[in-house]
Chains A and B, each alone.
Chain A
Amino acid sequence: MEQKWSYLVEEYRTMLYRIAFSNMKNPADAEDAVQEAFLRYMKEEKPIQNKEHEKAWLIRTTIHICLDILKSGWYQRTVPWNESFENAAKNIYLPYQVRDDETLEAVLRLPVHYRNAIYLFYYEDYSIHEIAGILNEKEGTIKTRLRRGREEVKKILTEGRP
């Protein structure tokens, strides 16, 4: 059993951390969110059907935990001392080297519904069908978010505001 958990953590930890970081924009909160997601998975009573389902479940839960933290009264009354979009883009630790931090910074500035769709599609290389499954939305909704999100990124890059 212990082996199963360690395999699970090894397999998804980094990817979930990146997704949590894109939402929380600071390492400590991102780590908390990922840890909570793994704990919820361990407590989950319904069997997870397959690997794809397992992955989608973990991503969806991580995003929900992040959104819950962001919405919480405590979080809204506090300001992390090291939070900035520039720092966030530099500290996201993608599995590849980012040449252009500006676009990633702009993506991190997007409203949450655009940000998650854009981040999963471009930076984690998920298909629209997979993102729709992860975020529990229709494929058409994801396509719209991608298109509108791209327009917002352009606005941020040219005008400096979303």
Chain B
Amino acid sequence: MGIQEVQNQSGRQTYQKKKKTGSAEGFQESLLQNLKYRDQEKQAVTAAEAEAKQGVTDSQIGVKAKAEKVGIGRIGAVPGIRMNAAAAQETLQAVEVRHMSYEDSDHVRIAVTEGYTLKGKREGGAEARVYVEAKYEDGRQEAYQVEMAKVSGQTEHVIERFALETMQEGEETYDFR
């Protein structure tokens, strides 16, 4: 006679029933959880797609809107360049980078110790404007159109100050720091 026959005459193993019940409940619970998470994931993907589509629309609207959103604000983070974004938005308009060479520029500032270069060119006859192109150590390039009529002579803003210098300089000048 074996050990099993002594303990359980029916020959049925008690542990089997116990295990099966628990396992089924656990499975049902995890299935419900998975379904719940899958719904949440779907919602997140849909939201991300909508956001991406919105981003494409933003870029189609034009550089100006984009710059108002991110471009001008970011310049403040670069060492050496500090600006009041609210004040600058009135005089600065972000435009497309033209990749102007040093030779084509009227005024150049090379600030090695501060990690950026600025190139300026006078534009527009009666409505004096200055095109300023900035290149940063981290690879970013930004360009601005500065409305000179709105720029204060006492401005401390780096781009505006540089635009003023570009207007004042009669000939091609280069400023190295």
Contact of A125 among B115, B117, B172, B175 (CB under 8 A): B117
Chain A nearest CB: distance from B114 CB in Å?
A: 8
Residues of A within 8 A of B176 (CB): 98-100, 103-104
A150 contacts chain B at the CB level, 8 A cutoff: yes
Given A127-B139, A128-B139, A146-B137: A96 touches B113 (CB 8 Å cut-off): no
Contact of A127 among B102, B110, B141, B173 (CB under 8 A): B141
Once the chains bind, are A153 and B112 in contact (CB under 8 Å)?
yes
What does DSSP make chain A's interface, helix, strand, loop or mixed? helix
Please list the 6 inter-chain residue pairs (A to B) with the smallest Cβ-Cβ separation, ordered nearest first. Answer: A100-B176, A96-B174, A128-B139, A146-B137, A122-B110, A154-B113
In the complex, are the beta carbons of A122 and B174 less than 8 A apart? Answer: no
Q: Does A24 contact B (CB under 8 A)?
A: no
Is A147 located at the chain interface by the 8 A CB criterion? yes
CA gap between A125 and B141 in the complex, in Å: 12
Residue ranges of A at the interface with B (Cβ–Cβ < 8 Å): 95-100, 103-104, 106-107, 118, 121-123, 125, 127-129, 139, 143, 146-147, 150, 153-154, 157
Residues of A within 8 A of B139 (CB): 127-129, 139, 143
Q: Mark B136-177, 1 if CB is under 8 A from A, else 0.
A: 011101000000000000000000000000000000111111
A142→B14 CA distance, assembly (Å): 70
Cα separation A17 to B138 with both chains bound (whole Å): 27
Instruction: Identify the closest chain B residue to A154 (Cβ).
Output: B113
B132 interface hit (Cβ, 8 Å): no
